Amino acid sequence: MNSLTRAALYGFLVWLIPFVISFFMFPLKGTHLEFFKTTMAVVVTVTGVVFAVLYFKSVQGNALQEGISVGILWFFISIVIDLCLFLWGPMKMPFSSYMLNIGITYLIYPAITIGMSVMVRGR
């Protein structure tokens, strides 16, 4: 990775921003579950795109390898932080429920970073 520190910081932010937004939107989960889930998917996607653009502005070398590495890093950062909250923390959710309801959404990050790396490589 060009900058592990920057990649990790952005990885934390792509987890934190949707988490904070979901915290404020949480009351909608009980009354408008579909709206909550759809909105959160959009928030995760927009956050991932914004930070991928910022990251890839300075990528040198093998952009595809960067896209794969950064996407996987962001995916795992989000999963690990979430698991601390959802499996053992205050929210207590079984792993299978977590992955079906939340975890799989984070695959958006590698999809974005790999797609962006292909675009950057094509320039």
- The per-residue pLDDT for 76 is 97
Query: How confident is residue 3, by pLDDT bands cut at 50, 70 and 90?
Result: confident
For residue 21, pLDDT over 70 is answered with yes
Q: How many CA atoms lie within 13 A of 24 on its CB side?
A: 7
The DSSP string of 57-95 is: TT--S-HHHHHHHHHHHHHHHHHHHHHHHHTSSTT---H
Domain ranges of the chain: 4-121
pLDDT, residue 66, reads 93
pTM for the predicted model, two decimal places: 0.91
Mean pLDDT of the chain: 92
Identify the pLDDT of residue 1. 64
pLDDT for the residue 122: 67
